[in-house]
Amino acid sequence: MDILFLGTSAAVPSKQRSTSCVAVREGADVVLLDCGEGSQRQIMASPVSFMKIRAILISHMHGDHIFGLPGLLQTMGLSERREPLTVYGPAGLGAFVRATMSLTEDEEAEAPYEIDVVELEGGETFEVRGFSISCFRTEHGMRSLGYVLREPDRPGKLDHRKALELGIRDGPDMARLKAGEAVGGVRPEDVLGPSVPGLSVAYTGDTKPCGSTVENVRGVDVLIHEATYMDSESRNAAEHNHSTAAQAARVAGEAGVRHLILTHISHRYEDREAVALEARAIFPETYAADDMEAYQVTRGGISVRDVRQA
């Protein structure tokens, strides 16, 4: 699984950082988390194809999380996308998409692909191209949602020698067993080891630290948590329903996640490492994301690379 940070700034973009947008990629399939202003330009400068976006998950209706959505939807149409696209988010999202698209498109021109908007309350679970996705309520002074994306569990290791002893021949029959199908009276559980849990990633959007985040992200491999402020600005964080880096770290520790990645960081903090260090003092497995960084997540850990295209 790859997690590509396309925009990591807080509400106001800077010359170096765009507003909130994260792409989660498994194989060629992409799920987009939020779509702030400038997102499609960031996508074009990255290895991600916007034609491979299977769903867009919006956390809340603040501009730095949605103002890039109409432009991206329009560009997909101009690029002759035909595959339907579903956009998920809180109440009000449907009205926003209808209004912006109807006022900026030719009234007689039909979009060449279907755009389905699904408004969520929190607590729903749905499937998107191999991901099981659940949403939960967060606390941001308005209707706001977080999301957890989970890959399906993978079959365990095939005991090749045992399968041969049970009369299974090399070739298609071995593959059928590995895929979970019984062959000649031999059941998959007879020759397969324990299943391997799929990877999981959670995204909070904007929120102050809250119990619903802890409960819903418990045990995930990666928690992407906002950290608009450092702890010296904790009063501002509370006033505006945001989190500090230290607060995000405490949430990660309480929830027992494997890794924490901080995003939505105010551009007053030019030194991202200082933000990360504040959190690492509490939760050592912490990273502070920057625009155009890709985090490859495996069972063995995380590797980070810059994917900026020339």
Higher pLDDT, 144 or 193: 144
When pLDDT is averaged across residues 156-161 and rounded to a whole number, the result is 86
Catalytic annotation, pick one of 64, 206, 221, 291? 64
| pLDDT classification of 157: cutoffs 50, 70, 90 | confident
Helix 245-255 crosses helix 272-280 at what angle (to 10 degrees)? 40
* pLDDT number for residue 292: 96
* pLDDT number for residue 309: 58
Contact 61, 143 (CB under 8 A): yes
The angle at the Cα of 209, spanning 206 to 212, to the nearest 5 degrees, equals 90
Active site (annotated) includes residue 173: no
CA distance 241 to 58: 18
Q: Is the pLDDT of residue 123 over 60?
A: yes
Distances (CA, A) of 227 to 10, 11, 165, 281, 297: 9, 12, 56, 15, 21
| pLDDT classification of 153: cutoffs 50, 70, 90 | confident
Write out the E strands in 198-273: 200-203, 222-226, 259-263
Q: Which residues are registered as beta bridge partners of 298?
A: 301
> How far is residue 73 CA from its own chain's centroid?
19
| Those residues with Cβ within 8 angstroms of residue 31's Cβ, 6 or more apart along the chain or in another chain | 23, 24, 25, 53, 54, 55, 56, 57, 128, 129, 131, 133, 149
* pLDDT number for residue 260: 98
> pLDDT, tens digit, for every residue of 266-285?
989 988 999 999 999 999 99
Q: Is the pLDDT of residue 132 over 70?
A: yes
| pLDDT classification of 109: cutoffs 50, 70, 90 | low
DSSP string, 98-118: HHHHHHHS-TTPPPSS-EEEE
